[in-house]
Amino acid sequence: MEIRGPLLLPARREDVEFETLDGLRLVGELAQPAERDPLATLVTLHPLPTAGGFMDSHIFRKAAGRLPALADLAVLRFNTRGTTSPRGTSEGAFDGGRAEAFDVAAAVDFARERGLPRPWLVGWSFGTELALKYGRDHDVEGIILLSPPLHRAKPAEVAAWAGDERPVIVLIPEFDDYLRPDEAAERFASVPHATLVPVEGGKHLWVGENQTRRVLTEIVAAVNPDALPLPTIWTGPGEDEG
């Protein structure tokens, strides 16, 4: 069958919860390869919850549905404070990216406590702001930024990554609503080692199977390049999301 849309490939999937330092219970899901240990881990940070972002935002839902089987990755998704999805509602209230620092810390701590290998922060839109602002404080391999708006991450917070050797991978849609490739080159010039990937025809929400595949390919290229190219056909068991 063709790998597209809501297809779920085999994985060990479990509902998870973890607690922040300020005492809130966050809900999420961990997906791991079905029959082996993961080679690396994606700790995902979803788009703006006040604009409809949550742990099931489609790129992250599809990453969890496909990448454990296709690239031997663990994918941790969760709702930041005050955010609701079919999985449930995380306690607390949206704080504009301030108290969400505790959410990032709790997710990374959970990955470490579970022994998940080589964690990467993968932020999308609002989630990129959290990765930029707080990622340097944690033991992660690097950060991957999808459609960064750079609204909340200040220039000094971006520039601080220049003193950090860990990879900074930035996917910039050609037709982004907030930050397009030319401006992104200027805004990230303070981080000489950042890898900027302009995506021709891309838009902020990465709608469509071609855009989904491009984003997942770039994530895997950073985290486990030996798994490339990602197949587009699956011959084993699978199921559509209900």
Residue 1 lies in a domain: no
Residue 74 lies in a domain: yes
* Residue-number span of the structural domain to which 21 is assigned: 7-240
Residue 122 lies in a domain: yes
Instruction: Name the pairing type of β-strands 195-199 and 168-173.
Output: parallel
Residue 2 lies in a domain: no
Residue 126 lies in a domain: yes
131 burial via Cβ count (<10 Å: 0-12, 13-18, 19+)? buried
CA–CA distance, 149 with 125 (Å, rounded to integer): 6
Residue 135 lies in a domain: yes
CA–CA distance, 143 with 140 (Å, rounded to integer): 8
Which residue has 């881990």 as its token pair?
41
CATH code for position 123: 3.40.50.1820
Buried b (16+ CB within 10 A) or exposed e, 19-41: ebeeebebbbbbbbbeeeebbbb
Residue 82 lies in a domain: yes
Query: Into how many domains does the chain fold?
Result: 1
Per-residue pLDDT of the chain (242 residues; tens, 9 = 90+): 999 998 999 999 999 999 999 999 999 999 999 999 999 999 999 999 999 999 999 999 999 999 999 999 999 999 999 999 999 999 999 999 999 999 999 999 999 999 999 999 999 999 999 999 999 999 999 999 999 999 999 999 999 999 999 999 999 999 999 999 999 999 999 999 999 999 999 999 999 999 999 999 999 999 999 999 999 999 987 766 54
Residue 56 lies in a domain: yes
